[in-house]
Amino acid sequence: MIGRLNGRVAVVTGGASGIGEATVRRFIAEGARVVVADLQGEAGQALQSELGDRTRFIQTDVSQEADVAATVDLAVSSFGRLDVMFNNAGILGAVGRLVDTTAGAWHATLGVLLDGVFFGMKHAARVMIPQGSGVIVSTASIAGITGGVGPHAYTACKHAVIGLTRSAASELGQYGIRVNAIAPGNTVTAMTAAAITGDPDQLEEATRTIASTSLLGIPGLPSDIANAALYLSCDESRYVSGHTLVIDAGHTSNGGSARVHRARPALLAEAGRRTPTTASPDV
């Protein structure tokens, strides 16, 4: 089926790379007009230039409510409405043992992974409620389904995204708004490449590693998550709300044993690029 999003307007946060970029491309192919929101200015501008008039780019820090509000407002001012809000922007965040994680790294992680989703839901709802329709999709993770497959702050946030999805669905359904989440397993992106290899550019090595540990023997690709986002955003899922769609080759059903908690310094990773936290070590 072609044109499943004809006439629809979407916002994709973290839309300049990885899962977000794949989703932007898929939405455009299915007839949508898309606002790409991302901190990565150069990549975002390049994507807009490539995809043309059916896209807009806005540099966005999702941890800042004013930025998220401006992104939603750009969708409305440019395209007249907002039909799909995909809260996808993410970081790996604070990494390391509980006792080594600073308050600064913890709160910075929550700012992106949880506050950013809340702000996206809030400001999408602000536009969608008067319309009487809309779809909100958020990227969770299998780390939000089980423990031990993600860093502590990341895991806490992804559990919270799933809970917030259910809570928002229970409120917004009366306005014709569906709210769902996607829980990817290992997916080949710069962020996972950095986590697996220490280098965000080592996508080929990450692909081999993910395929070798997959129950299906194949790697999870950004396009696999984009396909899920498309399903949850179009009318084929018209009776689906409050749901978390797990895309992980059966990893969680098998009780996967991946462990990421190692004696490493706490750090922040933005779009796969690592920078030390500026928080003092005693907080």
Range name among 61-70, 88-97, 203-212, 218-227 with the lowest pLDDT average: 203-212
CB atoms closer than 10 angstroms to residue 40: 22
- Specify the pLDDT at position 196: 86
Given this model, what pLDDT does residue 117 score? 98
- Superfamily per CATH, domain 9-276: NAD(P)-binding Rossmann-like Domain (3.40.50.720)
**Dmax (CA) of the chain:** 56
Dihedrals phi, psi of 139, to nearest 5 degrees: -85, 115
- Find where tokens 């389904």 sit: 145
Strand 267-270 to 273-276 pairing: antiparallel
pLDDT of 282 higher than 60: no
- For 214, 221, 243, the CA distances from 1, given in Å and listed in that order, are 29, 21, 23
How sure is the predictor about 279, in pLDDT bands with cuts at 50, 70 and 90? very low
Report the relative pairing of strands 244-247 and 134-139 from DSSP bridges: unpaired
pLDDT in tens, 177-186: 999 999 999 8
d(CA 38, CA 179): 22
pLDDT at res. 10: 98
- Enter the tokens of residue 186: 């290992």
Cα angle 103-108-112, degrees, rounded to a multiple of 5:
150
Determine what percent of the chain is predicted with pLDDT higher than 70. 89
- Residue 279 and residue 107: Cα distance in Å, rounded? 10
pLDDT at 243 over 90: yes
Question: Phi and psi (nearest 5°) for 49?
Answer: -60, -40
Catalytic residue among 154, 175, 231, 239: 154
Q: Are 266 and 96 in contact (CB under 8 A)?
A: yes
- pLDDT band, very low/low/confident/very high, at 270 (cuts 50, 70, 90): very low
Q: Tell me if residue 231 is catalytic.
A: no
Q: In this structure, are residues 152 and 167 in contact, taking their beta carbons and an 8 Å threshold?
A: no
Over residues 34-73, the pLDDT tens digits come to 999 999 999 999 999 999 999 999 999 999 999 999 999 9
User: Is 0.75 topped by the overall pTM?
Assistant: yes
Rounded-to-integer distance, Cα 139 and Cα 232, Å: 12
